[in-house]
Amino acid sequence: MRLWKCVPMMTLLLLLAACGGAGGDGESQTVDLRDRYHDCAGCTMEALVSCSQEDLAWEAELRCDYVPGGESTVEILSPETIAGVKAVLNDTDWRLEYEGESLNAGTLGGEEEISPAACLPRLMSALRDGWLLEENQEAWNGVPCLRLTVDQTGVKDGKILSTVWLSLETGAPVRGEIAVDGEILLTADFTSFSFCDTMSPDAPAASGSG
C-alpha cells in the first residue's frame, strides 16, 4: 500500500452542520436529515463519478464504505481496465493509501489538490459537518429532492462548495457536485445507498441528469 495524496479521479467534500438555511418546515426537514447523517455509524454507496478540469476527463463507477472519523474504503467497479482497485481514505487529512499506480492520475482544484477518489467520502463528510449555505426543494431526474449546498474552506483557503440532492422519500443521496473556486470539478450520480444503522437499510437512489 502506498500513500496517495492526490488522485485525479474522484473527490470533493460535502459538509453539513447545524447552521444556516431558511426558516419554517424546510429548515426543520434539513436539520432532521443532517442529524441522521451526523449520527450514523457509517454507510455504503455506489455511484457514477465524473471529473473534468481543462484537458482532464475521467469517469468511473465507484463503491464506497464510509466510516465517519475512521478509514473509508473506495473500490473501482468499472471501467474493467482498473476494476477492483481499492483506496483507503482517512478523512482527518484526506490522504489516500492505494493499490497500484492506476489511481494516480493527478489532482484537481489546483492548489487545493482535490482527489477524485475521495469524492464520495467527502460528500458524506460534508453532509455531516459542512456549513449550510442554501436549501430548497428541487427534483433531479424526476425524483423530488431536498437540495443542499454547503461550504468548506480548503486546506489552502480555497472555496470548496458541495451540493447534494437528497430524496424527499428516503433521505438517500441522488446527486452530488463538488466545486472549487466556482468551478464544478466532480459529480456523482448515486445508484445505491444504505446506512449501517439508521434510515431504511436499503434506501434506493436514482441517477441521471436533471
Mean pLDDT value across residues 183-195: 94
The pLDDT of residue 188: 97
Could you read off the pLDDT of 136-170 as tens digits, one per residue? 999 999 999 999 999 977 555 668 899 999 999 99
pLDDT at 42: 92
| pLDDT (0 to 100) of residue 104 | 42
pLDDT at residue 201 is higher than 50: no
What pLDDT, on a 0 to 100 scale, did the predictor assign at position 93? 59
79-92 residue pLDDT tens:
898 888 888 887 66
DSSP secondary structure string for all residues of the chain: -EEE---SSS----B--S----SSHHHHHHHHHHHHHHH-S-EEEEEEEEEEETTEEEEEEEEEEE-TTSEEEEEEEESGGGTT-EEEEETTTTEEEESSGGG----BSGGG-B-GGGHHHHHHHHHHH-EEEEEEE--BTTB-EEEEEEEEE-TTS-EEEEEEEEETTT--EEEEEEEETTEEEEEEEEEEEEESSSS-TT-B---S--
Looking at per-residue confidence, does 24 or 125 come out higher?
A: 125
Average pLDDT over residues 109-125: 76
Residue 67's pLDDT band, with cuts at 50, 70 and 90, is very high
Which pTM value belongs to this model? 0.76
Going by pLDDT thresholds of 50, 70 and 90, the confidence category of residue 26 is low
**pLDDT above 70 coverage of the chain, percent:** 65
